[in-house]
Chain A
Amino acid sequence: MVLTVLAVSFLTFTAFSVIPGNAATSILGTEATPEKTAALEHELGLDRPFAVRYAVWLGDFLRGNMGTSYSYRIPVGELIAGKLSVTMTLTVMSFLMILALSIPLGITSAMHMGKRRDRLIQVTGQIIMAVPPFFMGMVLTLIFGLGLKWFTPGGYVSFQDNPAGFLGYLICPALAIALPRSAMSGRFLRNSLVKETPLDYVRTAYSRGNDSHGVFYGHMLRNAMIPTVTFLAVIVPEIVAGSIIVEQVFGIPGIGRILLSSISSRDYPVVQAIVVMITILVTGMNFLADILYHKLDPRVGLS
């Protein structure tokens, strides 16, 4: 896990170092003179060898200093701290929505396997799966914002000003991210439940006099959850990526906007910091999934 984060940070650092274009000249713009450029390069530490720069960056990062933004000239940590928490809230909300939607739907679908209710859920799921999250955001804006007037599009309030309003505003974006993924994971759970049905232990459980309800919740669900947990861990990065885009639809000042502006202004310390933070988040989630995996299925060892 630590190795992955190190490798990603090294790779992005290398990538941003080898690309053409000089950060110092792009900051100075038209005012660039050779002397000024050299001075700024020295100030930013760009005149030192690559290995030294990486070591310095890594050391600073571990001490919580993520460098200074080229274009804003303030520490990156300050710049992204508030934004990261907005994006994190959005991500967690959509993840909870995925759990709340996909598990009951997957179970209902599997319990009525092949019947009308199952078919209805499957077909609706197929259609929802085909909707890209940002377009789903627009559709939700049309329905809930403009049609039903449940929220004001673009009426974002910060957590400090109005915590309830903040969470209320995030419901629609979170739903836009969650809906397509819920359809996917619900279908995944249904299929893994269906796969359990013909197995011997299910027959044994029935022959011991359990009713189908007991067999379902007591025996099959636990086994079917194992692959589903892996699937849920795999979609976490996609939820983060989805929130970067969906934030733009709803005008939420999260990590997405700052990432976009730093990509277009080539503000690499900011991009680098965001990339590494997201890597830490993703590997952390995978680690949690591994632990949960072990809890669900004791046969799986923790390595």
Chain B
Amino acid sequence: MDVTTLTLIELRDALRSGTVTSVEATRAYLNRITAHDDAIGAYLTVDAEGALAQAAAIDAARAAGQSAGALAGVPMGLKDIFLTKGLRTTCASKVLEDFVPIYDATVVERLRAAGVVVIGKLNMDEFAMGSSTENSAFKKTHNPWDIERTPGGSSGGSSAAVAARLTPGTLGTDTGGSIRQPAALCGIVGLKPTWGRVSRFGVIAFASSLDQVGPMGRTVRDVALLEEVIAGYDPRDSTSSQREVPTGLADLPRGADLRGLRVGLPREYFPESGLDPQVSSAVYAAVEQLKALGAEVKPVSLPHSPLGVAAYYLVATAEASSNLARYDGVRYGHRAKADDLYGLYARSRGEGFGLEVKRRIMLGTFALSAGYYEAYYRKAGQVRTLILRDFEAAFSEVDVIATPTSPTTAFKLGERMDDPLQMYLADIFTISCNLAGLPGLSLPCGFDNRGLPIGLQLLGRAFDEPTLLRVGAAYEDATTWHTRAPAEPFVARAGGAA
């Protein structure tokens, strides 16, 4: 039996029943990484020795009859944005190329407490800024469905690793779509929880008021289980919600119907141009499936949505310029040779940060600068309120909103690197949900004629992850998209122009 073909839940159950040991499961994943990650480029750091030691310890504890956590023995790679104590964490930046954290992120603590074996760190766009993982300072990640294409970003290493079975599940972060868009482009499930649902302590900050940690996996139930483990109040994060995490998030009965559910289709998310027709038809077909399960579908309007990208690129860059001010080479991180302090800062940061990061720091610094704060950062904050009000109005009529996750399927590596605005528009459907702080789920709903995955996005009310997961599970149970895996060996497949 190839344990890497098991879902996260199946693997967890197999470990519990003793069918497989954690060392065996960990070895299996490490072997696949060795065999395939040269082609994919998902991992930045692999800690084989540490992982096998953790796995052995968990096996021993289990054999000794100690009670095991919800994910005991499950090996997992994690996006390199989560601080893992003692294990190099780079955020895919030269600034942190040799940085070894001195503490664990809260979500990492919770995974470890649940018995997860950390096998390595996954590639991403530098400081989470990007939609293709091409902004990583160290390597490109390739989409397993066609290695000439991007896996999306910024959690591209995470999505590619799940799709290529180099990890059974993982965590990503989502600031403007960075879990959902790569999930869609790689044909997997990704959840961005409500802002404040999951602790941000120990997660390298990009844009504080937008960043959220979320699970990624092959099935909705896998994602729900991970969410159950990581969600909930953290006293170290003043913005984490004290609202109870509903128990049984992962208890999703099979074959449920959706009678009584009202699904909204916002006209602004199905524009005449800028949306690949194969994507829109797959999403419409998915909505028909929801109807077939008993849901009622209605049109809604989110009129301020088209402003989302503009508002986002002021808020996110401003907060990023602030959060990245600490990278100065004084206490940690890359330090350049310099004779004076100004030179130390400017050269260390100039050498350490990649172009996209610099671009955003510059834009954000401008948006906060004297004389421009009111018109830019503050104005964008006001537009956020209008965007949230749109959602609130829509949610008085419907329970979930369905949209495409990404306007296109996976694009080719290098295709959008010369036009930053083009790249930013990849986030157009995911971004408003971050601005409003609401939860969003992306799940596979089809493939285009090149065999590239298409994602359906479901948006929900604040803290209504249970409804999103329930709808997602019902859809998944009625379809088979999630059972398709990219063919191996991983090569260029889709061919042709984008």
Pairing of A with B = no
